[in-house]
Amino acid sequence: MALIFSQAVAGEDKTTWQNVSVQVPLENGSRKMSFKAKFVVPDQETYTETTQSHTVDECLKMWWVDAKGIQASPEDPKEMEFNDSLRDRILATTWLKMALFEAHQQVMAKGKL
């Protein structure tokens, strides 16, 4: 994990913004939420090794580095400052965590840079 972090800091990995859309479950149905997530895009070998040896939470903590327009809960204001506390709250929400992980997988599948 430290190696991946040091590569990102050294600028060896690229980053990209990805649009993410998810259905927010509410008491009376659901609503669509869209936001932008910024991901580190590691090389394919690092990605494969990391996803095989780390949890989804650990992977997202390494690769998800920013967000715009995301809410940890429907009651939150739309424009929250992205920080470790917000990231932890979002990763504690299974449907948001999985939407983010799927978005990162799409980035890797496309080879998007």
- What is the per-residue pLDDT for 112? 52
- What is the per-residue pLDDT for 12? 63
Give CA–CA dist 113/106, Å, rounded: 12
Backbone angles phi, psi at 105, to 5 degrees: -60, -40
Tell me which of 14 and 7 has the higher pLDDT: 14
Mean predicted confidence (pLDDT) in 88-107: 93
Q: Are 88 and 72 in contact (CB under 8 A)?
A: no
The amino acid at residue 62 is M
pLDDT in tens, 17-39: 999 998 888 888 888 889 999 99
- Cα 27 to chain centroid distance, Å, stands at 25
Q: For the chain, what are the domain ranges? A: 37-113
* Closest-CA residue to 61 (of 43, 81, 83, 34): 83
pTM, to two decimals: 0.80
